[in-house]
């Protein structure tokens, strides 16, 4: 009986690190193509929506019509995560970049 219990405890202990290390797959974050961005909503990193992408510059910078003005968002701040177009800029930074 003791041997069976020790064997079960050993098997359970060896399985814990494998289960603890297992993580759910994370959606790939990538640099977007113009086709992936045009017409889609642009969001800030904290999930606030900005506006739909109106067009994309040759360097990959999306343009949005925001608060009545055409605003170009730097391509270096833009990613696609799970089909959502995200920028690392805040709304305040966008307002100042006009």
Q: In what order do the strands lie in the sheet with 84-87?
A: 29-30, 78-81, 84-87, 41-44, 49-56, 62-66, 69-72
The answer to whether the predicted template modeling score (pTM) of the entire model surpasses 0.75 is no
CATH of the domain at 48: 2.30.30.240
**Domain total of the chain:** 1
Beta strand 29-30 with 62-66: parallel, antiparallel or unpaired? Answer: unpaired
Centre a 10 Å sphere on the Cβ of residue 40 and count the other Cβ atoms it contains: 16
Does residue 3 lie in a domain region?
A: no
Asked whether residue 1 is assigned to any structural domain, the reply reads: no
Over residues 40-73, the pLDDT tens digits come to 999 998 889 999 999 999 999 999 998 899 999 9
Q: Evaluate whether residue 63 is within a structural domain.
A: yes
> Is there a domain that residue 51 lies in?
yes
Cβ neighbours, 10 Å, residue 83: 8
Alpha carbon 91 to chain centroid, angstroms: 17
The parent domain of residue 63 ranges over 29-96
């Amino acid at each position: 009986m003791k041997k069976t219990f020790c064997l079960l405890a050993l098997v359970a202990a060896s399985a814990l690190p494998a289960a603890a290390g297992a993580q759910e797959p994370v959606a790939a974050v990538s640099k977007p193509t113009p086709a992936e961005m045009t017409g889609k909503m642009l969001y800030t990193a904290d999930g606030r929506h900005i506006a739909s992408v109106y067009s994309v510059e040759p360097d990959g910078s999306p343009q949005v019509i925001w608060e009545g003005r055409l605003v170009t968002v730097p391509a270096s701040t833009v990613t696609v995560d799970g089909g959502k177009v995200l920028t690392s800029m805040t709304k305040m930074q966008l307002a100042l970049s006009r």
